[in-house]
Structure 1
Amino acid sequence: MPTYLRRSIAAAAASIALVVTLPHAASAATGEFRYTYYDDFGNRAAGVLVDPDSRGCVTLPEVADPDTTEPAFAPQNFTDSTVTMFTGPDCDGDYYSLRPGGRASDRLKLRSAVFS
């Protein structure tokens, strides 16, 4: 077998091995997404998602059940991604978007979100 052919095969095999062994980076928004909710005692409490996953629905755990909790409100998007917030869990219901650095009032209610 000619030398150039052996080198080409070896280089191709090494490239394939490198691609297979590299970890796949998870896509995530960088920063914090903050919101306010009422705790079990009716007190205002702060919630935060740190570096949330992108392109996947995130139901806010403190307000996931519409039968037993009030929705979260007053979101603050300190991530580097636009966030789309939904009035229902599992990214259902009416939705609103907030760009990076954006804040909304207490009137904006949410239970889930997706980060771009």
Structure 2
Amino acid sequence: MSARSLKATLGAACSALVLLLAAPGSASAATGQFRYTYTTAQGYEAVGFLNNPAGGECINLRGPASEPGSVSRAPKNRTDATATVFLDADCQGDTYYTLPPGAGAGDRLLLRSVVFS
């Protein structure tokens, strides 16, 4: 192999590596736990949690999904990602609130779904 063809091959390989590293990967998981409070069908208070939730995917919270009309409340974002909580299911609607990593909110903040950045 000549020096010229070796140089061209090496240049192409380096270019391919740069493109591979620059391409966006799949959404990563948030590290940590997201907690929230909800009321069961029997009227008991319960704590729901998401461990290391996937990033970029909408998650409907337990409680609201099984009991239409009910809502969760008091979220605590103990992950390393920003959590955007929505009053509506499927991360829809104009009513949402952003919780940075480590932040939480009280019982007045109602939610049905969450997505992590």
TM-score when normalising by structure 1: 0.77
8 A Cα contact 2:48 2:62, kept in partner: no
Alignment of 1:64-83 (within 5 A): 64=65, 67=68, 69-83=69-83
Alignment of 1:3-82 (within 5 A): 5=5, 9=9, 26-64=27-65, 67=68, 69-82=69-82
**How many residues align structurally?**
110
Change (3 A) 1:25 1:57: closer
Q: Distance in 1 between matches of 2:72 and 2:12?
A: 53
What runs of 5+ residues in structure 2 fail to find an aligned partner? none
8 A Cα contact 2:27 2:56, kept in partner: no
1:49 alignment partner, SS class: strand
Give the root-mean-square deviation of aligned CA atoms: 2.5
Q: Distance in 2 between matches of 1:26 and 1:4?
A: 40
TM-score when normalising by structure 2: 0.76
What runs of 5+ residues in structure 1 fail to find an aligned partner? none
8 A Cα contact 1:36 1:73, kept in partner: yes
Q: Distance in 2 between matches of 1:8 and 1:61?
A: 56
Identical-residue share of aligned pairs (%): 45
Amino acid corresponding to residue 36 of structure 1 in structure 2: T
